Amino acid sequence: MACPLPLSRLHKLMILVGLSGILLSLPTLATEQDDKGLPPIRTLTAEQSERAAANYQKYCVLCHGENRQGHVNDHAPSLRSRSLFESGVPHAILRPLSYGRQGTAMGGYLDEVGGPLTLDETWDLTYWLFEQSGVERVAMSTQPVLGDIQRGEKIYQRDCAVCHGKAGEGITAPALGNASALAHNSDEFIRYAIQQGRQDTPMPAFSGRLTEPDIDNVTAFLRSRASGWQDIKPVLQALPTPDQYVVNPQGEQPDFALAQGRYVSSADLYAALVAKKKMVLLDTRVTSVWQTAHIEGSFPAPYYSDFKTIAKDIPRDVLIVAYCSCPRAAADYVIDQLKDLGFNHTAVLYEGIFGWMHEGYPVARRAIATPDDGSSN
Ligand code: HEC
Ligand code: HEC
């Protein structure tokens, strides 16, 4: 049947949801809670349960073992320990199962990332694991665990590194420095694992072996590694001064064939830079990303700049080429501002800097100094 009115995607979605009543069974809705205030564990039908068990057998046994005991291959953790299912919200299982843990043997099984399971199947397998564990969940705070990070690091190196690795990379135990794990495991989930251990696995319970404040300290230390195990301090480059705004001041101006009177291709821009053509290159992104990587010779003129001020320092007779990563929105916006101020000799990099890098053209990257490589200054 033809629809008499064009419907927006939102409307279609609303109708779909209304018709099939999916809303009630959507497990991800944050508003649903059981009597402990926890997101509920959905009861599987016999058919869903059977399919989940079969998926477990097919995809998980290799490493996590026939009976979910773990440690069969690649030191894959137990998928039945009491503390994991007590503290685990469904996402503690669903996330690693769906998206994997980058850099470990745990790959993603969701079709969205190229895996064999549909979203429904990953949810069913998650609930099946909860069901099989037979464990009562414990309500956990989502507040951060605060502690003395330096002290936590000492304890970590003394008591944990032997299994989890000096840099949290995991030796015989999960990689605690793993960015994907730290991104979805709450502080309380981590603290609970340390306190309680993981039953019937090599992970000991530290409750009684470490004081409660020290358990907090080591938790806070692990959390502090969320942006990387090493404490990386960016070295900020000095910004170019107006006398450096023109690239190749001695060169000739390029003669670009501009698409739609505005867009220059990465290939043409690169050729002009190699041929030492004269131009002004504007990086119109937020300056922090210019610091990370930029096209050599560009200077940051972020889209939120005061262009009347910048305009005073840009020569009017030199071609201005602007780029961003959006891939053109910010650059187009900046060029429009400059045109309003009377700059008529302008261009925008069509593919943006990501397209430029994708095609293999070079960028200048920031130097990184870590506290112990001696290069910080
Ligand atoms: C004897 C080896 C060993 C030591 C020592 C050890 N762990 Fe573990 N840890 C493990 C193993 C193995 C696992 C996985 C257990 C499983 O099968 O679920 C684990 C799991 C964990 C987990 C849960 C990870 C997750 O994603 O579920 C945390 C957190 C953790 N350990 C923290 C620590 C901390 C902190 C210390 C030191 C205070 C420590 N461990 C000391 C072996 C160890
Ligand atoms: C090739 C081996 C391998 C296979 C197959 C595998 N896993 Fe894993 N899995 C791992 C490893 C290794 C880890 C621990 C990664 C780390 O260091 O954090 C892990 C971690 C997990 C975790 C996190 C547990 C925790 O304590 O935080 C879950 C949940 C999980 N796997 C579920 C599954 C499911 C479900 C399947 C089947 C669909 C599966 N895995 C298949 C190796 C595997």
Q: What is the DSSP-derived secondary structure letter of residue 42?
A: P
CATH class of 149-229: mainly alpha
Closest ligand to C-alpha of residue 187 is 1
- Ligand 1 midpoint to CA 199 (Å): 11
Beta bridge partners of residue 259, listed in sequence order: 263
Question: By mean pLDDT, which of 109-118, 121-130, 272-281 is the weakest?
Answer: 109-118
Q: Where are the domains of the chain?
A: 39-133, 149-229, 242-368
Question: By mean pLDDT, which of 2-6, 63-67, 187-191, 337-341 is the weakest?
Answer: 2-6
CB atoms within 10 A of CB 336: 13
- Ligand 1 midpoint to CA 81 (Å): 12
The pLDDT of residue 12: 42
Superfamily of the domain at 242-368: Rhodanese-like domain (3.40.250.10)
In whole angstroms, give the CA distance from residue 190 to residue 199.
Answer: 15
Distances (CA, A) of 69 to 32, 40, 64, 76, 119: 31, 25, 6, 9, 25
Q: Look-up: residue for tokens 């972020």?
A: 302
Joined tokens for residue 95: 């996330």
Ligand 1 pocket, residue 284 CB under 6 Å: no
In whole angstroms, give the CA distance from residue 146 to residue 158.
Answer: 20
Interacting residues of 231 by C-beta distance below 8 A, sequence separation 6+: 370, 371
CATH architecture of 39-133: Orthogonal Bundle (1.10)
Tell whether the torsion through CA atoms of 137, 139, 142 and 143 is positive or negative: negative
Residue 370 near residue 233 (C-beta atoms within 8 A): yes
> Nearest residue CA, atom 29 of ligand 1?
190
Ligand 1 pocket, residue 281 CB under 6 Å: no
What are 210-256's pLDDT values in tens digits? 999 999 999 999 999 887 776 555 678 889 999 999 999 999 999 99
Q: Residue 281: what are its φ and ψ, rounded to 5°?
A: -110, 120
> Nearest residue CA, atom 22 of ligand 1?
193
Interacting residues of 205 by C-beta distance below 8 A, sequence separation 6+: 195, 196, 197
In whole angstroms, give the CA distance from residue 212 to residue 222.
Answer: 16
CA torsion, points 349, 354, 355, 356, in degrees to nearest 10?
70
- Ligand 1 midpoint to CA 202 (Å): 8
Q: Look-up: residue for tokens 């200054």?
A: 377
pLDDT band at 189 (very low <50, low <70, confident <90, very high): very high
- Ligand 2 midpoint to CA 196 (Å): 20
Could you check whether 39-133 and 149-229 share the same CATH topology? yes
Testing ligand 1's pocket by substitution, the residue of 93, 198, 219 carrying the most ligand atoms inside 8 A of its CB is 198
> Nearest residue CA, atom 30 of ligand 2?
97
What distance lies between CA 38 and its chain's CA centroid?
26
In whole angstroms, give the CA distance from residue 185 to residue 192.
Answer: 11
Residue 35 has pLDDT above 70, yes or no: no
- Ligand 2 midpoint to CA 241 (Å): 52
Ligand 2 pocket (Cβ < 6 Å) reads 59-60, 62-64, 73-77, 79, 84, 93, 96-97, 101, 104-106, 109, 125, 170, 174-175, 178, 181
In whole angstroms, give the CA distance from residue 210 to residue 217.
Answer: 10
Task: Give the strand pairing for 293-294 and 364-365.
Answer: antiparallel
- Ligand 1 midpoint to CA 87 (Å): 15
Higher pLDDT pick, 111 / 374: 111
